[in-house]
Amino acid sequence: MITKGKRIVALLLIFMMLPGLLSGCWDSREIDKLFIVTGIAIDATDDPDQVDVTMQIGKERKGEAGLGEAQTGGSSTIVLNTVNDTIMGAIREFNRNSNRKLLLQHNPIRLFGIEVAEHGVKKHIDLFLRDQQARLEVPVAIVEGRAADVLTGTLDQDPLSGMFVAGLLEDLSKVSVELQVRMLDFVSRLLQETVAPMMPIIAVVGEEDKKEIKTVGMGIFKGDKLVGRLDNDQSLGYIWAMGDVSQFNVKVQEGIDKAILHVSKLKTKREVTISDDGVVKVKLSMEGGASIAEMEGFGNMTPQNLIPHLKDLAQEEMKQTVTEAFQISQGLNADMLAISATLEQRHPKKWEKIKDRWDEIYPTIELTVDANLKILGTGQIIQSLEMEEAMK
């Protein structure tokens, strides 16, 4: 039994400990002592050993905090910029010159200037893999020109341009996960050596007072260096080849007649074969359901032969787009479809024999593309106005 005296001593001890245990901790961080980073941009400098780091901070109220060298970028953001030999060095410099600490955990986007991407991004991503605050699901993108321009410009679309770019890529990922490249995805491809990492490219367009951000395609890497690109239309060929694409349009044109087909879901089956003498063949079979979204012309056709005709045109268009994108990657000798990874996974023994010759083999790969679209609907009307007129 605990005596009454002991009970009182225990209670007193507990009361004495409570203020220490319940009043906070070492890790308390108040929002008025933080800079919430809404975008990080990495750019090259004239000195190859230095890196230009820009960070966009979401500002909760105007005119607060000592900023040191900071400049205000619009009313909702603060933009911090410095040149240092490492990214951590730059972060330290920002923290040193401010009464707030940078909070990277909510940073939604990491941007690389095109010059940095061409010189190689490997030395700039260690921090983003190592630091506990830096998350691996954060998307990465290349910026046409300087990456800092995305974070410093006053945009019509959204004052928090970092958040806007992240949202843009998030929306694209609903079409295909290949269009939003997370840091983890990029590193995963980088580690595979023979596979080409990909990264979306965005650009700031428009006049000084009316700037806009647009996606302009996908960058193709060889190792950690940007070696080529696909424009937006060619990027469709890439995502169709990778498969699992939702909600996209295929434009078909025949003379002055044109139609847009809306494909709701596309699945792509990949078959990679390798002969004993090391000849690699790839067969892509695409299957999906489509509906007519818009049509102009085709006045000389009847409703009965219109649907098979549109289907043939769309299938041919898709085959051509995929083949064109693949040929670009072969020209760059960069395995953007991760064919080497499929070979390694499915034919490990044969892969071991050819992996050292992969750079010679890749440009010689024979690609066969099959497309099978089913036209599931025509919308509220069946024929185009031109067809209606022709029937009269």
What are the residues binding another protein (CB under 8 A)? 1, 25-27, 129, 132, 135-137, 184, 187-188, 191-192, 341-342, 344-346, 348-349
Q: Mapping DSSP to helix (H, G, I), strand (E, B) and coil, where does residue 125 land?
A: coil
Residue 147 Cβ vs another protein, minimum distance, rounded to whole Å: 24
Q: Which is nearer to another protein, 133 or 291 (CB)?
A: 133
Tokens of 135: 């998350």
Residue 123 Cβ vs another protein, minimum distance, rounded to whole Å: 16
Q: Which is nearer to another protein, 198 or 292 (CB)?
A: 198
Q: In whole angstroms, give the CA distance from residue 193 to residue 191.
A: 5
Long-range contacts of 253-260 (CB under 8 A, 24+ apart): 254/298, 254/313, 255/297, 256/297, 257/296, 257/297, 257/298, 257/299, 258/295, 258/296, 258/297, 259/292, 259/294, 259/295, 259/296, 259/298, 259/310, 259/313, 260/292, 260/293, 260/294, 260/295
Tokens of 144: 């046409």
Q: Which is nearer to another protein, 75 or 132 (CB)?
A: 132
Q: Enumerate residues 6+ apart whose C-beta is below 8 A from 369.
A: 241, 283, 284, 286, 318, 319, 322, 323
Q: Which is nearer to another protein, 27 or 277 (CB)?
A: 27
Q: Mapping DSSP to helix (H, G, I), strand (E, B) and coil, where does residue 317 land?
A: helix
Q: In whole angstroms, give the CA distance from residue 34 to residue 121.
A: 28
Q: Which is nearer to another protein, 36 or 184 (CB)?
A: 184
Residue 254 Cβ vs another protein, minimum distance, rounded to whole Å: 39
Q: Which is nearer to another protein, 10 or 205 (CB)?
A: 10
Q: How far apart are the first and last CA of the chain?
A: 104
Residue 308 Cβ vs another protein, minimum distance, rounded to whole Å: 35
What is the phi-psi region of residue 171: left when phi exceeds 0, alpha when psi lies from -120 to 50, beta otherwise? alpha
How many CB atoms are closer than 10 A to CB 208?
7
Q: Enumerate residues 6+ apart whose C-beta is below 8 A from 84.
A: 50, 51, 53, 90, 93
Residue type for position 25 = C
Residue 240 Cβ vs another protein, minimum distance, rounded to whole Å: 19
Residue 246 Cβ vs another protein, minimum distance, rounded to whole Å: 13
Q: Is 330 exposed, middle or buried (0-12, 13-18, 19+ CB in 10 A)?
A: middle
Q: Which is nearer to another protein, 188 or 264 (CB)?
A: 188
Residue 149 Cβ vs another protein, minimum distance, rounded to whole Å: 28
Asked if residues 232 and 216 have their Cβ atoms less than 8 Å apart, the reply is yes
Residue 187 Cβ vs another protein, minimum distance, rounded to whole Å: 6
Q: Which is nearer to another protein, 184 or 203 (CB)?
A: 184
Residue 137 Cβ vs another protein, minimum distance, rounded to whole Å: 5
Asked if residues 55 and 79 have their Cβ atoms less than 8 Å apart, the reply is yes
Q: In whole angstroms, give the CA distance from residue 166 to residue 182.
A: 11
Q: Which is nearer to another protein, 128 or 298 (CB)?
A: 128
